[in-house]
Chain A
Amino acid sequence: MINHFIPKNLSEALDILSNHDCYIIAGGTDLMVQKHRSSGLLPTFEKDVLYISNLEELNFIRSDDKGVHIGATTKYRDISSSELVPQLFKDVISELASPNIRNMATLAGNIGNASPAGDTLVALYVLDAYLVLQNKESKREILVKDFIKGVRKIDRKPDEMITEIVIPHHDLHYYWKKVGSRAAESISKLSFLGAYITKEGIIKDLRIGFGSVSITVVRNRDIEKQYIGLKIDEFSQQIPEIIRKYDEIINPITDQRSTKDYRKKVAMNLLKDFLTKIK
C-alpha cells in the first residue's frame, strides 16, 4: 500500500519524511515519465510519494552576500525571469526542455534526478553552487558536486529534502554550448561550460565543465588551478598541454543520443575554441 502525502507547509512535509521513505515530487516532469506505464494507467510508484509543488514557503528567489538563493519549488519560468539570477544561468535554462516543462519543473528536481545529461548541473558545478538539505531537526549545506554521487545517485537521507539552492555571486566571462539534435526539447549529446576572469593581462580564475560525457559532470579543479596566475600570453602557449590533459580524462560512452567518438571530438573542439577566446 502506497501512501500519498500532500503537505500544507514545510514543517508538515518534514514530519512526514521523518516517518516515511518517499519519492518527492515537485513539478513531476522527470518522475511522472520514469514511473509512467501506459495511457490511462496510474504511474507505478513503489514507495510513498510526497507532493511539494504547492509549498509556497519554498517558492522564492532572494539574494544576499552568500549568493542567489532559489527555493526548491521555484519553477524555471520564474528563475529565468528574475533579475537576481545571473545571466549565465538564464542562458542554460533557456535551452532546457520546452516552454511547458520550464513552466512546471524546478531546479531542485533537476538536481535530485541526477541525470548525467542534467542541463543545469554543468553550470551548478562550475559556479560552485550548493544545496541546503533540511530534516525535522536540522539543516546542512553541501556542494552540488558532492551531493551527486553517480547516475541517479544522490546524498539525500530519507528524512531530508532539498529546500534551497545557493548560487554564489561571480564575475565570470563564460562560454556555454549545449549540443543536441534540435533547439528545443533535446536531451544533450554533450554540453560545455568554460568560464574565466582576467585582470591586467593575468588569468585570475578558470573553470571548465563538461556535461553528458561521463556519469556525472566532469570538472577538474587540479587542472584549472595550474593555469590560474599565468599571464595571458604564457597561458596561450599552454593551450595544447591543457587540451592534452582533458583529452586524458574525457571518456564518453556511446548511447542512443550520440557516439563516444562524436562526443569526444566535439568536447575537445569546444574546449579549444573556449581556450583560444580567453583574453
Chain B
Amino acid sequence: MKINFVINKHNVTVDVDPSMRLLDVIRNELHLTGTKEGCGEGSCGACTVLVDNIPYDSCLTPIANVIGKEVMTIEGIRESKEYNVIADAFAKMGGSQCGFCTPGMIIATYALLQSNPHPTDEEIKVALSGNLCRCTGYQGIINSVRLASQKGEKND
C-alpha cells in the first residue's frame, strides 16, 4: 500500500505493508539509521522519534498510524539550532558514552525543553523515564539536560 507522510520536513511516499513498524520504514526504506532499535518492545526509548512534535516509540508504531503526519528523526532534529545546544551539553557533561541511547535521549530532551524550557531535576527524570542507558548511570544525562536548559535560555 502507498503511504504518504512527512519525514524531516520532506514529503515522502513509501510502498509498504501498513503494519510495518515506523522504525523499519525509517531505517530500511528511508535509510535513516540515526534512529536505533534497542528492545523492540517499547521499553528502552532508543527508537524515539517525533510524530507531530510528540515523542513516539517508532518500534510500536505501525506505519498506517503516521499517514499524513509529520515525523522527525534525529537527522531532522540535527538541522535545528536547539540540537547544537543539546548536543554540546551532552558532550560537555558526559551524557553520552557508547552512544546507542543518545538519539532517543536527545529527542526526549528536545521535546521536554520545547514544552518546558526550565524543568526541575524531577521533571527531567520523568521526561526521560522511558529512555534507558546502560553506560552513564543517568547522572551525566540529567546534568546535560540541565546545562542545555540553561544554555538555551542564554541563546533566546
Task: Name A's B-contacting residues (CB within 8 A).
Answer: 4, 6, 25, 27-29, 32-33, 35-36, 39-40, 42-43, 45, 49, 51, 53-54, 77, 97-101, 103-104, 183-185
Given A33-B41, A45-B19 in contact, is the A4-B64 Cβ separation under 8 Å?
yes
B84 at the interface (CB under 8 A from A): no
CB proximity to A under 8 Å, residues B109-142: 126-127, 129-130
Identify the stretch in B52-60, B73-81, B87-95, B148-156 within 8 Å (CB) of chain A at 4 or more residues.
B52-60
Question: Contact at B55–A103, with CB atoms within 8 Å?
Answer: yes
Residues of A within 8 A of B54 (CB): 77, 103
Question: Contact at B129–A6, with CB atoms within 8 Å?
Answer: no
Of B18, B42, B56, B126, the most chain A CB neighbours within 10 A belong to B42
Question: Contact at A32–B62, with CB atoms within 8 Å?
Answer: yes
Cα–Cα, bound, A187→B41 (Å):
13
Question: Contact at A6–B64, with CB atoms within 8 Å?
Answer: yes
Question: Contact at B17–A4, with CB atoms within 8 Å?
Answer: yes
Question: Contact at B60–A29, with CB atoms within 8 Å?
Answer: yes
Question: Contact at B127–A99, with CB atoms within 8 Å?
Answer: yes
Question: Contact at B65–A184, with CB atoms within 8 Å?
Answer: no
Question: Contact at A28–B61, with CB atoms within 8 Å?
Answer: yes
A82 → chain B closest CB, angstroms? 16
B94 → chain A closest CB, angstroms? 22
Cα–Cα, bound, A27→B58 (Å):
11
Question: Contact at B56–A100, with CB atoms within 8 Å?
Answer: yes
Question: Contact at A184–B130, with CB atoms within 8 Å?
Answer: yes
Given A6-B67, A33-B41, A185-B43 in contact, is the A100-B57 Cβ separation under 8 Å?
yes
Taking a contact as CB atoms closer than 8 A, the residue among A6, A28, A99, A183 that contacts B60 in the complex is A28
Residues of B within 8 A of A25 (CB): 62, 64-65
- Would you give 5 A-B contacts (Cβ < 8 Å), ordered by A? A25-B64, A36-B41, A42-B20, A98-B43, A100-B56
Cα–Cα, bound, A97→B45 (Å):
12
A38 → chain B closest CB, angstroms? 8
Residues of B within 8 A of A100 (CB): 42, 45, 48, 55-57, 130
Cα–Cα, bound, A54→B64 (Å):
9
Residues of B within 8 A of A101 (CB): 42, 57, 60, 130
Question: Contact at B129–A184, with CB atoms within 8 Å?
Answer: yes
Residues of A within 8 A of B108 (CB): 99
B115 → chain A closest CB, angstroms? 11
Cα–Cα, bound, A40→B48 (Å):
17
A185 → chain B closest CB, angstroms? 6
Question: Contact at A51–B55, with CB atoms within 8 Å?
Answer: no
Residues of A within 8 A of B61 (CB): 28, 32, 104
